[in-house]
Structure formats: structure tokens, C-alpha cells
Structure 1
Amino acid sequence: MDETITRYPSTGPIFLQGGPLYVARPGQLYATYPGLTLEEYAALNSLAIERLLESLNAAAEAEQFAQRTASRSRSEGDESGWRARTTPPAGSIGYTGSYREPSADVVEVSVVSVLEARGPD
């Protein structure tokens, strides 16, 4: 399983949906994460190995196709009109385009002082 997830990260959600990746052993406080094979994982979570393999193969093939088409469009030049961003956006990091500086007419008031003046409800 480790090799599959490392090589094809898109298979991770399939494993998470299939069941836990850990083994709970009686008498141990913490679960263990042994290096399970695909067959052991399927047996642990009562999954049909054939269906698991079909799902994993489909995800891996889709990821390979996406990588091939992405590398091909980069090498040939993208004809779709979209440009890949090569430099980070200008401006301060951490602020979105909709960020506005606080208005000068905003008055800060302590919540405690407002509650003391108003009293309990």
C-alpha cells in the first residue's frame, strides 16, 4: 500500500473510503500502522480485492493521463488560451484581493464594558 500511495497519491482517498489503514491490537493503547499489502488491507476491511484493484487502477491511470497531458501541453505550448502562472502574484503574501484596510471611523469597544452597562438579560 505504501508504494501505491507514494507513486499515485490520487489513490489515497480510495484507501480512506475503504476503511481504516491501522490495526487495533487487544491490550495495546495505540493502533499500529503496519505495512499492509493490498490483499491484507482488503481482508482487514472486508473488501473485494477485485473491486479494490479496479478502483486503484482507474485512479492510477487517470493520474498518469493527467501527467502526460500536462507535460505535453507544457512542451507544445498551451493552445487553450490559458497561461500557466510562472511567477507569484504581486502584493503582500497572505492577503486576498478583497482585503480592505480597516476604516478610520470604526470604534473599538470592550465587550465587557458593553455588557456591564446593559446588565444581565
Structure 2
Amino acid sequence: VDLVLDGSDNFETRFAVADACVRGQRPLVYGAITGFSAHLFLQPAGGEPCLRCLFEAPPTDAMSCADAGVLPGATTMVGGLMAQAAIGTILKSWSLPWGSLQVGELRQFRWRQIDLQPRSDCQCTSEPT
């Protein structure tokens, strides 16, 4: 496996996949949509930073797609960005912002990039046992 793509709809699965990618030294591209918000996270192989550098544990108060709904067309857009990241990774054709979280406010057509830093107390920065 050269790359993992995750489009799961819950944080428990997302964290399990991200943790497995850290342990397996595999890059991860995850995309998520809830309501009018979109997220695209590019976790480098081995983490540093990983999803747990952003959230220590799965949020307990996150709304589900069933509760918040999903903006029509948003899944196609985020899926397309995930595919673009996968193609760029496999072909090594262009540079990607690994370690960043892309956050989209889809009603306003606004995107911002949050460049994450590894947390010193995170499992991705710990020495393997």
C-alpha cells in the first residue's frame, strides 16, 4: 500500500485509520463533510503531524452527517480533491501540503489552510517500542 484514502463518516473510524497509517508509515489523505463544512487533511507517512496532533481523541460532540446534512455536490468536490492528492502522491508530479488541514466554508466559498505542527506528547513523535 503506497497511500491510504479515508472518506469515513465518523471520528472513531477516522482515528483508527490515521493511527494505523502512523504505525505503518503510510501517508493518509482524509476528506470529510458535515453540513456546509469540508475538511481535507494530508497526514504524511509516519505522522508528524498526525490527526492526533490536531485532536487528542475523537470529539464527542461532533455532529453527524445524518444530523447536520451534507451540501449537495460537496462530496463530489472533496472526493475530487482527495483523488487529486492521491494522483499527485503516486506520480510524484507536484508538491502537496503534507501536514496541513484544508478547511472549507462552502456557503461562502472560502478555504483556509492550517499548517499543523507535531505535538511533543503525541504518539507520532514517540519512539517506537
| TM category, shorter | under 0.3
The structure where strand makes up a greater share of residues is: 2
The structure where helix makes up a greater share of residues is: 1
Q: TM-score if structure 1 supplies the norm length?
A: 0.27
Q: Answer 1 or 2: higher relative contact order, Cα 8 Å, separation at least 6.
A: 2
Q: TM-score if structure 2 supplies the norm length?
A: 0.25
